[in-house]
């Protein structure tokens, strides 16, 4: 089963790489002409097209690009002549740091809110938490970001509004600068995890062994944490891992708002400069990360569900 999931992941990644290449290739306009400007001579444009490989047929360019990636060679950035792998290394590590920071806040918060909502089902607390979390997830990310900047940064002055970190930034200062973008991502993803935790626990509360534990006089919180929660881990872990995937691949808007030097900001800057090799590399890294985390979610769902782990 694991080999089958892994094979499907590789096939999916191959199809996504083909879609990325075709999507970038079908962008309107001439990339070489756009980079050089309207005043460029035809000879200069032709030379740049040859340097970018745009004079070759599409299928040759695709397999050359894919073959280089399989060997760890993402090519060279057209705009600054640097190795793309070098650019991706620093930016991707920054994106991972932001995603992990947001996950450290979001996952315990979502589990606590979900457990408390299941404990006080249909109460004022349950309904209030549902309204607040659904409102936060229904609001666009950039709007949430600007609201946080206005109240927490501009008016209160607690945290900086720009997350302009560098490799030399001290860890504590990095945490301070990344707090607002991490909080924005937290408000976006916590509702999914909280509602799944609540639904999974409530579904188990009607089980006979839960009723037997209640009849024995065990406290409700202990019933949920010791008996219901371990059997609800499969769907909860699945939605947590999927939201972690979103935290990594869905940071583009948040990184642009806070000017955070991550992979999303690099993608937007490369699109503006028509640096096609960097755009393709960023898109493929995002796709590979999402496919890998989806595969991880499937594997964890199997490992936490005895019926799937030991099928008859």
Token readout for 141 is: 């990310």
Answer whether residue 39 shows pLDDT above 80.
Answer: no
Q: How confident is the model at residue 53 (pLDDT cuts 50, 70, 90)?
A: low
**Region 220-228 average pLDDT:** 73
Which pLDDT belongs to residue 311? 59
Q: Which of these, 5, 51, 10, lies nearest to 31 by C-alpha position? A: 51
Residues 196-205, mean pLDDT to the nearest whole number: 76
Do the beta carbons of residue 35 and residue 78 sit within 8 Å?
yes
Share of the chain above pLDDT 70, in %: 86
Residues 31, 35, 39, 41, CA torsion sign: negative
Higher pLDDT, 302 or 283: 283
Residue 51 has pLDDT above 80, yes or no: no
What is the structure's pLDDT at 34? 61
**Overall average pLDDT of the 180-206 stretch:** 80
Which two tokens mark 254?
Answer: 């948040």
What is the predicted pLDDT for the residue at 144? 82
Which of the pair, 298 or 283, is modelled with greater confidence? 283
Residue 42 CA to residue 31 CA, distance in Å, equals 13
Question: Model-level pTM?
Answer: 0.76
> Which range has the worst mean pLDDT, 83-97, 119-133, 137-151, 230-244?
230-244
State the burial class of residue 76 (Cβ atoms within 10 Å of its Cβ: 0-12, 13-18, 19+).
middle
């Amino acid at each position: 089963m694991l080999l089958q999931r892994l094979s499907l992941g590789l096939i999916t990644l191959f199809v996504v790489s083909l879609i990325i290449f075709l999507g970038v290739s079908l962008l309107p306009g001439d990339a070489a002409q756009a980079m050089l400007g309207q005043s460029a001579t035809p000879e200069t444009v032709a030379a740049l097209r040859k340097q970018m490989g745009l004079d070759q047929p599409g299928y040759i360019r695709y397999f050359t690009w894919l073959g280089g990636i399989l060997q760890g060679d993402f090519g060279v950035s057209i705009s600054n002549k640097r190795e793309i792998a070098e650019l991706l290394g620093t930016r991707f590590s920054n994106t991972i740091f932001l995603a992990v920071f947001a996950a450290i806040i979001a996952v315990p918060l979502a589990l606590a809110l979900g457990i408390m909502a299941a404990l006080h089902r249909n109460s004022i607390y349950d309904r209030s938490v549902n309204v607040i979390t659904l409102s936060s997830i229904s609001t666009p990310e950039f709007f949430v970001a600007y609201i946080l900047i206005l109240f927490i940064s501009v008016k209160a002055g607690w945290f900086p509004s720009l997350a302009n970190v560098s490799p030399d930034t001290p860890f504590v200062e990095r945490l301070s600068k990344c707090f607002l973008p991490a909080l924005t991502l937290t408000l976006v993803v916590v509702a999914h995890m909280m509602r799944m935790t609540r639904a999974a626990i409530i579904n188990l509360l009607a089980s006979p062994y839960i009723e037997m534990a209640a009849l024995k006089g065990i406290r409700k919180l202990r019933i949920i944490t010791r008996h219901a929660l371990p059997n609800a881990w499969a769907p909860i872990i699945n939605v947590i891992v999927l939201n972690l995937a979103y935290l990594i691949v869905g940071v583009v808007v948040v990184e642009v708002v806070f000017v955070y030097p991550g992979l999303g900001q690099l993608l937007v800057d490369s699109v503006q400069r028509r640096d096609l090799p960097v755009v393709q590399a960023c898109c493929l890294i995002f796709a590979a990360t999402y496919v890998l985390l989806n595969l991880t979610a499937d594997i964890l769902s199997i490992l936490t569900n005895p019926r799937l782990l030991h099928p008859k």
